[in-house]
């Protein structure tokens, strides 16, 4: 896992390091050298014309220094002063750039500037939290327009106009082909619109010792972390060693949701899977998920009814974990969820289970550390009673309900008793009904195999995304189905169980 910082954590680390007597100008030079190397590598040498758009602070200083270094290597470097430099380091590097570069212009000359081969965006760094005003906005729009017409775009540390802590676009931002991040990832490199705006993100070491960074931070989960999270499997094991998952899901017309969960649970290593569902859909489910067993429950208008509670209480006996929610519909009575929440078994709740819980404060109060929830932003808003734009604050508030929380998105933010994590595996091809039902089944399977809820969420989120990436290679970004994700789990699990 790799550390992911807020803008404040990065600035605090830099300031603490500089207080030891290290020159901030020397660190800026290190960053500029790393940026220049990436520029030369990305554009294929020093034959190109590159415009360096520089702001007034440290990010602009990085840009001025990189422009000078690129020019010294024989490149045609043009400096665009978006704002006059204000910090001492930026002023020093600005003067050096004026002497070394091919051309130096101000924002007033933007319209007369010909389209370059590449732009380097060094207008704002990680600290901007306000919408871009007219001057910066016009430069950002010009950079994006030139990109559409063939110019390459590289951002220094973070694309200008992107909130470094939330991944929000403040009013408009640079859409980079590549972002050169210094020392450690920032939250926006992985969250919100950052995944799109940053393009390819590369992290470059600028020689700040790790002792200056906080121990408590967000951690980025990577495929190489999977082996330490995956349940161990003995050669002589049998099905009972891998748990018995009870899935409570489905309604008339929504049999597919619980089938996706059941098949994903079996693919994720659960020894036994039983689905408790309305009796009317049992024949459909047995055809769609033949590896799972079924318990027919009393129903009303196609949904599990209050009369199902005794059967559910009996079904819980001998089980290892619960997964509930896919395809339930919100007409399921609260007493059904109360039965599941009151059980001592670890459980994952998703979809309509969360919607039912959100409508009943008494159910919310039953959430506990043995419970995992996997809402998308809409479900999270209903649980919390308000919608928040910051995924990290949202995940924090979900965890404050006393459960382990995974907030789904382009990247998933996971807030557990073990810390805060972000999983960025996956693809937009997975943005389709049923993908979340697959995740629910996976989390349930890991709980059944004895993983604590926090580890079950981490493992399921990353493997789920990797399976989606693998599936997209075969189906393309439009045609992927949830069943393709399930089929690709066998490839994705190679990360967890390397040969």
Concatenating the DSSP letter of every residue in 24-84 gives HHHHHHHHHHHHHHHHHHHHTSS-SEEEEEE-SSHHHHHHHHHHHHHHHTT-EEEEEESS-
Among the three residues 216, 251, 283, which one is the final residue of a domain in this structure? 216
Please identify which residue in the block is written with the tokens 């018995």.
244
Give the pLDDT mean for 139-156: 98
Please check whether residues 373 and 417 belong to one and the same domain.
yes
Query: What per-residue confidence (pLDDT) applies to 359?
Result: 94
- Provide the strand spans (E) within 123-228: 152-156, 178-182, 185-186, 200-204, 218-221
Please check whether residues 205 and 257 belong to one and the same domain.
no
Residue 387: inside a domain: yes
Residue 346: inside a domain: yes
Give the pLDDT mean for 364-375: 98
Query: What per-residue confidence (pLDDT) applies to 277?
Result: 97
| Number of domain units in the chain | 2
- Whether residue 473 has pLDDT greater than 80: yes
Please check whether residues 207 and 280 belong to one and the same domain.
no
Query: Percentage of the chain with pLDDT > 90?
Result: 94
Query: What per-residue confidence (pLDDT) applies to 462?
Result: 97
Residue 438: inside a domain: yes
**Containing domain of residue 453, as a range?**
234-496
Please check whether residues 38 and 129 belong to one and the same domain.
yes
Say which CATH number the domain at 458 has.
3.40.1190.20
Please check whether residues 52 and 158 belong to one and the same domain.
yes
Residue 71 pLDDT grade (very low, low, confident, very high; cuts 50, 70, 90)? very high
Query: What per-residue confidence (pLDDT) applies to 125?
Result: 87
Residue 452 pLDDT grade (very low, low, confident, very high; cuts 50, 70, 90)? very high
Among the three residues 216, 249, 275, which one is the final residue of a domain in this structure? 216
More confident residue, 101 or 294: 294
CB of 371 within 8 A of CB of 404?
A: yes
Among the three residues 216, 244, 278, which one is the final residue of a domain in this structure? 216
Please check whether residues 398 and 479 belong to one and the same domain.
yes
Query: What per-residue confidence (pLDDT) applies to 215?
Result: 83
Residue 216 pLDDT grade (very low, low, confident, very high; cuts 50, 70, 90)? confident
| CB proximity list for 231: less than 8 A, separation 6 or greater | 242, 269, 446, 449, 450, 451
Please check whether residues 201 and 246 belong to one and the same domain.
no
265-319 pLDDT tens trace:
999 999 999 999 999 999 999 999 999 999 999 999 999 999 999 999 999 999 9
Please check whether residues 170 and 263 belong to one and the same domain.
no
Phi, psi for residue 128 in degrees, rounded to 5: -70, 135
Rounded to the nearest integer, the mean pLDDT of the chain is: 96
Please check whether residues 200 and 344 belong to one and the same domain.
no
| CB proximity list for 12: less than 8 A, separation 6 or greater | 214
- Whether residue 499 has pLDDT greater than 80: no
Residue 90: inside a domain: yes
More confident residue, 53 or 215: 53
Please check whether residues 450 and 339 belong to one and the same domain.
yes
Say which CATH number the domain at 95 has.
3.40.50.10260
CB of 91 within 8 A of CB of 84?
A: no
Residue 228: inside a domain: no
Residue 98 half-sphere exposure toward CB, CA atoms < 13 A: 11
Phi, psi for residue 40 in degrees, rounded to 5: -60, -40
Residue 101 pLDDT grade (very low, low, confident, very high; cuts 50, 70, 90)? confident
Give the pLDDT mean for 392-414: 97
Whole-prediction pTM value? 0.93
Residue 225: inside a domain: no
Query: What per-residue confidence (pLDDT) applies to 241?
Result: 83
The Cα 114–Cα 362 span in angstroms is 64
Residue 229: inside a domain: no
CA-to-CA dists, residue 375 to 146, 379, 391, angstroms = 39, 5, 12
Query: What per-residue confidence (pLDDT) applies to 234?
Result: 86
Please check whether residues 280 and 254 belong to one and the same domain.
yes
Residue 224: inside a domain: no
Q: Which of 282, 222, 274, 217 is nearest to 248 (CA)?
A: 274
Please check whether residues 109 and 58 belong to one and the same domain.
yes
């Amino acid at each position: 896992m790799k550390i992911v910082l807020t803008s404040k954590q990065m600035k605090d680390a830099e300031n603490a390091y500089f207080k030891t007597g290290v020159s901030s100008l020397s660190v800026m030079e290190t960053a500029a050298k790393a940026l220049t190397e990436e520029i030369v590598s990305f554009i294929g040498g020093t034959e190109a014309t590159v415009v360096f758009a520089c702001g007034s602070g440290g990010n602009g200083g990085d840009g001025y220094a990189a422009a000078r270094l690129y020019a010294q290597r024989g490149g045609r470097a043009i400096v665009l002063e978006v704002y006059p430099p204000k910090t001492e380091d930026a002023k020093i590097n600005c003067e050096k750039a004026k002497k070394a570069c091919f051309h130096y212009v101000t924002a007033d000359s933007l319209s007369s500037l010909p389209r370059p081969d590449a732009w380097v965006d060094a207008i704002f760094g990680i600290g901007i939290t306000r919408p871009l005003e007219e001057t910066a906005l016009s430069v950002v729009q010009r950079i994006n327009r030139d990109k559409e017409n063939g110019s390459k775009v590289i951002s220094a540390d973070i694309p200008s106009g992107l909130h470094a802590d939330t991944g929000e676009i403040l009013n408009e931002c640079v859409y980079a082909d590549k972002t050169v991040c210094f020392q450690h990832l920032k939250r926006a490199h992985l969250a919100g619109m950052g995944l799109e705006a940053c393009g390819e993100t590369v992290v470059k070491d600028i020689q700040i010792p790790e002792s200056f960074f906080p121990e408590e931070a967000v951690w980025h989960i990577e495929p190489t972390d999977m082996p330490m999270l995956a349940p161990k499997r003995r050669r002589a094991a049998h099905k009972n060693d891998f748990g018995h998952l009870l899935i409570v899901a489905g309604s008339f017309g929504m049999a597919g949701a619980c089938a996706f969960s059941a098949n994903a649970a079996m693919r994720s290593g659960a020894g036994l899977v039983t689905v408790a569902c309305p009796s009317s859909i049992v024949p459909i489910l047995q055809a769609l998920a033949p590896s799972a067993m079924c318990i027919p429950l009393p129903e009303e208008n196609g949904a599990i009814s209050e009369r199902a509670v005794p059967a559910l209480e009996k079904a819980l006996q001998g089980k290892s974990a619960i997964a509930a929610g896919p395809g339930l519909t919100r007409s399921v009575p609260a007493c059904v969820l109360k039965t599941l929440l009151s059980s001592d078994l670890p459980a994952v709740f998703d979809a309509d289970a969360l919607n039912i819980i959100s409508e009943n404060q008494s159910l919310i109060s039953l959430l506990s550390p043995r419970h995992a929830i996997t809402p998308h932003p809409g479900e999270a808003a209903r649980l919390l009673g308000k919608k928040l734009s910051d995924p990290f604050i949202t995940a924090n508030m979900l965890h404050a309900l006393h459960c382990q929380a995974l907030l789904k998105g382009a990247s998933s933010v996971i807030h557990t008793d073990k810390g805060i994590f972000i999983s960025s595996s996956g693809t937009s091809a997975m943005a389709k009904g049923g993908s979340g039902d697959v995740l629910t089944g996976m989390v349930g399977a890991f709980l059944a195999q004895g993983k604590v809820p926090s580890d079950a969420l981490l493992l399921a989120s990353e493997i789920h995304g990797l399976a989606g990436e693998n599936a997209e290679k075969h189906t393309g970004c439009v045609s992927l189905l949830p069943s393709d994700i399930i089929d690709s789990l066998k490839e994705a699990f190679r990360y967890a169980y390397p040969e």
